[in-house]
Chain A
Amino acid sequence: MKEISFTLNNELRSVYVEPNEVLLDVLRDKLGVKSPKCGCERGDCGACTVLLDGKAVRSCLVLAIEVEDHSIVTVEGISADKLSALQEAFIEFNSFQCGYCAPGIILAVTELLLQHPHPTLEQIKESIAGNLCRCTGYTPIFDAIMALTKVEHVPSQDGKQMLPEEEQQ
């Protein structure tokens, strides 16, 4: 066992870990942070996404011992005082049903919006291509993000302008 310290959701936390403990398990079972979900456990589904030094990563493929002196942010961290604008948009657009994929998608998109405040639909799709959702069919997720980032129009493949408002109807 080794004691490691790292910043978790803007608080300095210390925890004893073995080298073979993955970050997802330590967050959930030792530190009580339950928003990262355990899905495929092999990096395919994105349910365990957390931000490591601001980058969306798979916490099921990160060893806990290596985050010493680094920063981890989960959904608990981005909504400590109140829900983020992105979370509010997800509620407004009914963007999740069972909710299992939601923390991962919210963090992946949070990272995207830091780099691209006004992403294209393609950039949005690319950013969550590794986050599986089996309920929504993704459309309400795209709608929420596009409405939030005020994407005025997205040229569809046949060249017509597709307004987000029209998509919702």
Chain B
Amino acid sequence: MAIAHEFGYERPQSLHAAMTMKNSFRAKAFVYAGGTDLVVNIKEGMVKPELLVDIKDIPDLHKLCLDNGTLYIGASVTFTELIDTDFVRLACPMLHDACKTVASSGVRSRATLIGNVCSAVPSLDSATPLLCYDAVVHCGSIDGVRNIPISQWFLAPRKTAIRDNEIVTGISLIIPKEESTSVYLKLGRYGGEDLAQAGWGIWMNKDRQYRVAHCALAPTPARATKIEAMLCGKELTDKLIEEAVALVPQEISPISDIRSGKEYRMYVSGVMLKRGLKAALDRLNGKEVEPAKLLGGIS
């Protein structure tokens, strides 16, 4: 299927040139990196850009580094690059887990984390690590830079806090200094390619602090603050896990769709939280954990 809609294409060599284009075309210019969502959306007539601004030649936007406790991910860094980078896996295991569950390898070699974050679909796997690691989204325009906490980024399904003249230049995750670990559990209908029926991310440290986030279970991905508060400071026993699971209905508002019924999403979330908490504790104690195997089924 050829694309019927006509548009311009520019490949700026500097961030300033890209921001100038975005500023003059506003919502009619779309930032183009991996294209794995955008090209589908153009083909299907969901968006009709006048200009695509390809950012892949801009070196500043391809930065990936861990510096002084901050993991910085540039706008054109792909999921494959994130998965293959050791310091990402070591600093943020949940992000590594989540990236591995996105689509398939042929998509991940083009798709970017930032593109994923800008799509802001409810089933956003990569949102749970960003929420748990207090990420900051860096938005640039010719007016300057806005740094938006991830907690204020997702406004509604497919709607974010970005302005129409801005480009997301990168995202920063705050890596805790103390010993901590994290895990991401995704349930799909089958291994490979499927979007999440439910996703749960869990972070914990040796001081018995906990952070919990979910996706595909509410209009936007979100932190489970009631569960976090209840767990805080307590040793993770079977009884405590049961108490956390009992709070799940207060944290999520799942819907029924092509992938799952809301009743199943509600039930399986309790199972996932339980196994996720145990898996995170195992990781904290130095055990190897393969999240894809925690939920059974076929890989």
Contacts and interface: CB of A to CB of B under 8 A. Distances in A.
Contacts of B107: 43, 58, 61, 130
Given A44-B193, A125-B299, A56 B109 contact: yes
Nearest to B41: A42
Interface string B101-135: 00111110110000000000000000000000000
Given A63-B35, A65-B9, A129-B191, A46 B104 contact: yes
A126 B80 CA distance: 13
A154 interface: no
Interface residues of A, number: 33
B105 A62 contact: no
Interface in B1-37: 1-9, 11, 32, 35-36
B3 A108 contact: no
A139 to B, nearest CB: 13
Contacts of B103: 43, 130
A61 B110 CA distance: 9
A44 B193 CA distance: 8
A18 B103 CA distance: 29
Contact of A63 (B1, B9, B105): B9
Contacts, number: 93
Interface centre among A41, A56, A61, A65 (most CB of B within 10 A): A61
B-side interface mostly: loop
B159 interface: no
Contacts of A57: 106, 109-110
A66 B11 contact: yes
B7 A58 contact: no
B40 A22 contact: no
A127 interface: yes
Interface in A44-68: 44, 46, 49, 52, 55-58, 60-63, 65-66
A61 B36 contact: yes
Contact of A58 (B8, B54, B110, B191): B110
Nearest to A53: B109
Given A108-B106, A122-B299, A58 B6 contact: no
Given A42-B40, A66-B32, 4 more contacts: A43-B103, A55-B80, A62-B110, A125-B299
Interface of B: 1-9, 11, 32, 35-36, 39-40, 42-44, 52, 54, 56, 80, 103-107, 109-110, 191-193, 299
For the complex of A and B, the 8 pairs showing the least CB-CB separation, nearest first, are: A130-B104, A129-B192, A19-B9, A20-B3, A55-B109, A61-B39, A42-B40, A130-B106
